[in-house]
Amino acid sequence: MEIVGRLTDTATINTLNDGRAVVNFCIAINERYKTRQGETKKHTAYINCSYWLSAKVAEHLHKGAIVSLYGSLSSKAYIDQNGEAQPVLYYHVNAIKFITKMKSA
């Protein structure tokens, strides 16, 4: 599955106890549509992403960059402090293609 979105922040690298590194980042996907009444609505989906193949890619994943991702999508839910279930989308990335790159800060 391919998804395209904009990074919401610069990627981080987390190292596990066994020495493996995972690159974590979040993308936003914007959708605009018109209701039957003609009103334009905007919806943004936020997707938490993980990339396990090479930590070096994190050098290029900066806030604002637009990326095309190939991988698989999953979802989970957690209970917030108000006792309500909140959905979270996760994307296990197999390949990254840069549509635009942002300069490092």
Residue 32's SS3 state is: strand
pLDDT tens digits for range 42-97: 999 999 999 999 999 999 999 999 999 999 999 989 899 999 998 888 999 999 99
Q: DSSP per residue over 33-65, as a string?
A: EE-TTS-EEEEEEEEEEEE-S-GGGGGG--TT-
**Domains present along the chain, CATH in parentheses:** 2-100 (2.40.50.140)
- Rounded CA separation 34/32 (Å): 7
CB-CB contact of 3 with 37 (8 Å): no
User: What single letter denotes the amino acid at residue 12?
Assistant: T
pLDDT tens digits for range 6-16: 999 999 999 99
What is the value of pTM for the model shown?
0.83
